[in-house]
Amino acid sequence: MDFLNISLISSTLFCTLVAGFVLLYAIVVMPGLSKLNDKEFLRAFQVTDGIIQNNQPIFIFVWIGSIISVICLIIVSIVSEGFFNNWVLVLTGFTYLLGVQGITILIHIPLNNNIKKMKIDEMDNQNLRLERLEFETKWNFFNKIRTIISLIVSLTFLVIINIQ
């Protein structure tokens, strides 16, 4: 087994784990939290996100592992056989980095940080409602996009493994 195959397998594993994580948020966590009132929703999200932002080791290992493995896969793909022979791998890798990690960095982290610094107990019901609506709508919309992208990337990597 060469370094390209090892990079492809590790990228597939890590990206699939990330896909499962964002899918879990899309189909279980956020729909569950949506049943709460505004104050409970915001507080529950603060607590849940606090676990992640406090560098939960397995989450960090998987999340950062996906980034590192995909970057390695792109580099190894280009160096070993050239871009034109591995353009699908390179394109899929960049799609993951931009479509999953890019959305996370540009959209989700700022939204999460905004929720994190809220003083929920000091807010009135109208402000709680406005903050929740603005957050929840945008967060869920972009999470659906990164979920679809991460699932397509994982499926593409699995197909490539099977045809090699």
Q: What value does the CA radius of gyration of the chain take, rounded to a whole number of Å?
A: 18
Distance in angstroms (rounded) separating the CA atoms of residues 146 and 24: 12
Residue 151 predicted with pLDDT over 80: yes
Write the secondary structure of 36-72 as one string of H (helix), E (strand) and C (coil): CCHHHHHHHHHHHHHHHHCCCHHHHHHHHHHHHHHHH
* pTM for the structure as a whole: 0.94
Question: Domain tally for the chain?
Answer: 1
User: Residue 27 sits in which domain range?
Assistant: 3-163
pLDDT given for residue 47 in this prediction: 96
CA angle (29, 34, 40) in 5-degree steps: 100
pLDDT given for residue 84 in this prediction: 77
Other C-beta atoms closer than 10 Å to the C-beta of 45 total 23
pLDDT given for residue 58 in this prediction: 96
Tell me the mean pLDDT in the region 128-146. 98
pLDDT given for residue 55 in this prediction: 86
Residue 129 predicted with pLDDT over 90: yes
What would the pLDDT profile of 47-95 be if each residue is shown by its tens digit? 999 999 898 999 999 999 999 999 999 999 999 987 778 999 999 999 9
Residue type, 36: L
pLDDT given for residue 82 in this prediction: 79
What would the pLDDT profile of 4-43 be if each residue is shown by its tens digit? 999 999 999 999 999 999 999 999 999 999 999 999 999 9
Closest CA to 38 of 109, 120, 155: 120
pLDDT given for residue 97 in this prediction: 98
Greatest Cα pair distance, the chain, in angstroms, is 60
pLDDT given for residue 83 in this prediction: 74
Distance in angstroms (rounded) separating the CA atoms of residues 130 and 45: 15
Q: Residue holding tokens 């890019």?
A: 102
